[in-house]
Amino acid sequence: MKTLFVLTCVSIALTTGSQTIRAGDYQSKRYVIDAKELHKDMIARLLAKAEKNEAMAQYYTAHPTPDEMKHPMSGRTAGHCRWLAERYRAEAEKVRKEMESRQPGYTALPARP
């Protein structure tokens, strides 16, 4: 009885979806992802991670843990959080430069006929 209920729920969920993707739909232009939007999203995520790590570094500076002395670059230290923030910012800058070096209108996936 439980199996029938689960299968019914799954089939209802699959048939009532807002958009059904068929095998050939990936070729249409509506599924071609604009690479510039992907890069902007990646930059935003990297900068958000950098800000989060900077905030954690400030916290660990104000409230040092025993790890500061025993394991200076372990995950619960201000130095580690600052290092990660620098890496995330450098990666965001690298992605930004790559995005700017491309021609306008480029896409991540080639449009297919």
Q: Which domain holds residue 41?
A: 28-101
pLDDT at position 103 is 65
Q: Is residue 43 part of a domain?
A: yes
Q: Is residue 22 part of a domain?
A: no
Q: Is residue 64 part of a domain?
A: yes
Q: Is residue 3 part of a domain?
A: no
pTM of the predicted model as reported, rounded to 2 decimal places: 0.63
Q: Is residue 72 part of a domain?
A: yes
Is the pLDDT assigned to residue 39 strictly greater than 60? yes
25-48: average pLDDT? 73
pLDDT at position 36 is 77
Q: Is residue 2 part of a domain?
A: no
Q: Is residue 18 part of a domain?
A: no
pLDDT at position 1 is 44
3-31 pLDDT, tens digit per residue, is 434 344 434 444 444 455 455 555 444 44
62-113 pLDDT, tens digit per residue, is 998 888 888 888 888 999 999 999 999 999 999 998 888 876 666 555 555 4
Is the pLDDT assigned to residue 57 strictly greater than 90? yes
92-95: which pairs have CB atoms within 8 A and are 24 or more residues apart? Answer: 92/42, 92/43, 92/46, 92/47, 92/50, 95/39, 95/42, 95/43, 95/46
In total, how many domains does the chain have? 1
The shares of helix, strand and coil residues in the chain, as percent rounded to the nearest 5, are 65, 0, 30
Which residue from 98, 84, 96 is spatially nearest to 49, judged by alpha carbons?
Answer: 84
Q: Is residue 63 part of a domain?
A: yes
